[in-house]
Amino acid sequence: MKSSVIVTGAAGFIGSALVWLLNNRGRGDILCVDQLGSDAKWKNLNGLAFSDYVEKSSFIAALEKHGLKKFGRISAVLHMGANSSTTERDVSSLVANNFEYTKTLCSAALSANSRFVYASSAATYGDGSAGYSDGEAGLDSLRPLNPYGWSKQAFDLWARKRGLLGRIAGLKYFNVYGPNEYHKGEMRSMVLKAWEQITQTGRLKLFRSHRPDYRDGEQKRDFLYVKDAADATLFFLDKPGANGLFNIGTGTAETWNSLASAVFKAMGKPLAVDYIDMPEALRGQYQYFTRAETARLGAAGHPGARFGLDEGVSDYVANYLVPGGRYLEKEPVK
C-alpha cells in the first residue's frame, strides 16, 4: 500500500503552498485537514490535487480513538494547522489549537513511525532581546510578546522536556508573504496590504519609528516568500534525520522602506510613502528588528532561499496580484 502525506492547515497560507509544491513534484497522495468555516480559504485548495479532505474536528476525533492507522499508511505529517492570529486574546482557544492539538498529533505520528514536521513560529523570539538562535539551549530565555507566540513556545518546551526534538522538526517561519494569503484579513502580509493601498491611492502608509535608534521606515524584518517557505518545509520531509528547531527565513533583515520600494517598483509606480504614528496599544509589542539565524538550516544541507525581497515581490505582484489575486495551482502536465 502506498504511503500518504497528511497536511494540516491545508487550506491555509503555508499549508496550501505545501500541497501545491507536492503536486508539482508529482504527488497527489495527500490527506488535507483543515477547518474551513465560512471564510474564503477554501479557494486555496481549488486547482490543487489531493486524495481526501477531512475537517479538523472529525480528524481529531478519529485520531484520539484510532491513531493514524485510521487513515492508512502515513509516511509523514506536515502540521501547519494553528490559530495564527498574533492579536488573538482567547488564550484557551490558542492552547487547544496550538498546544493540545499539536501534542496529540505529534504523539500519534511518532507512534506510527511517521515523520513529524510542525510549524513553530518566529513569534517565540518576542522582542528579539534574547537573540534569534534556534538552538535548544536558548529556549528558556525566550519571552514571546503575545499569547500566540507563547502557545507555540509551549509546545517547543513540551517536546524538549520529553526528548522529542531529536525525532521531529519544528520550523520557525519569519515574515512570510505571497499568494494564497488573501483570506487572512489583518494577518495578511504588508506586501499585499501595500499593493492594495497603492492601487487605491497611489501612496503607502508606514509606521513612524518611536525609537531614536531607528529612522522612520527603517525598522527591519526578515521577509520570506511563501514558495521558499514551502521548499524549506519539504526539505525536512525529505531529510528525516534533520531534527530539532530551525529558523526558516532568508537570513537577511530588510527595512520597511526597502519593502515599499520593491512593491512600487513591481507595480511600475513612483515611490510615495507617508509615515503615521503607531497605535499606542501596539508599541509595547512591536518588533523593530528580526532576522533568522540560518546556520543550523545551512548545516542541515538546505541551500537557502531562492527569492530575495525584490525577486519575491516581483513574482507575487506580476504573476498573482496583477492577474486579480491568482492562486497557487497545480502545474499542468506537459
pLDDT digits (tens, 9 = 90+) for 158-214: 999 999 999 999 999 999 999 999 999 999 999 999 999 999 999 999 999 999 999
Known catalytic membership, residue 56: no
Q: Which of 169, 133, 294 is nearest to 241 (CA)?
A: 169
Segment 32-66, tens digit of pLDDT: 999 999 889 999 999 999 999 999 999 999 999 99
3-state SS assignment for residue 72? coil
What is the structure's pLDDT at 332?
67
Task: List pLDDT tens digits, range 121-147.
Answer: 999 999 898 999 999 989 999 999 899
Mean pLDDT of 217-246: 97
- C-alpha dihedral over 211, 216, 220, 225, to 10 degrees? 150
Q: Catalytic pick from 43, 103, 184, 330?
A: 184
Catalytic residue (one of 148, 177, 225, 320): 148
Q: Output the nine-digit C-alpha cell for 309.
A: 525581497
List, in sequence order, every residue forming a beta bridge with 204; answer none if it has no partner: 273
List the domain boundaries for the chain.
4-178+223-251+290-307
What pLDDT sits at residue 333? 55
State how far the alpha carbon of 180 is from the alpha carbons of 41, 121, 244, in Å: 8, 19, 28
The reply to whether 148 belongs to the active site is yes
With H, G, I as helix, E, B as strand and everything else as coil, classify residue 290: coil
In angstroms, the CA 262 to CA 271 distance is 9
More confident residue, 226 or 284: 226
HSE-up of 90 (CA within 13 Å, CB side)?
8
Determine the pLDDT at residue 2.
Answer: 64
Distance between CA atoms of 220 and 286, rounded to whole angstroms? 11
Whole-angstrom CA distances from 175 to 222, 232, 334 are: 6, 14, 34
Residue 331's pLDDT band (boundaries 50, 70, 90)?
confident
The reported pLDDT for the residue numbered 218 is 98
CATH superfamily of 4-178+223-251+290-307: NAD(P)-binding Rossmann-like Domain (3.40.50.720)
Q: Where do the DSSP E strands lie in 168-258?
A: 169-173, 175-177, 204-207, 220-221, 223-225, 244-248, 254-255
**pTM as predicted:** 0.95
| pLDDT at residue 84, rounded to an integer | 85
What was the pLDDT predicted at 1?
A: 44
Mind giving me the DSSP string for 120-133? --GGGGTTSTT---
Q: Is the pLDDT of residue 100 over 50?
A: yes
Residue 85 has a pLDDT of 85
- All three cell numbers of 136, joined, read 535548544
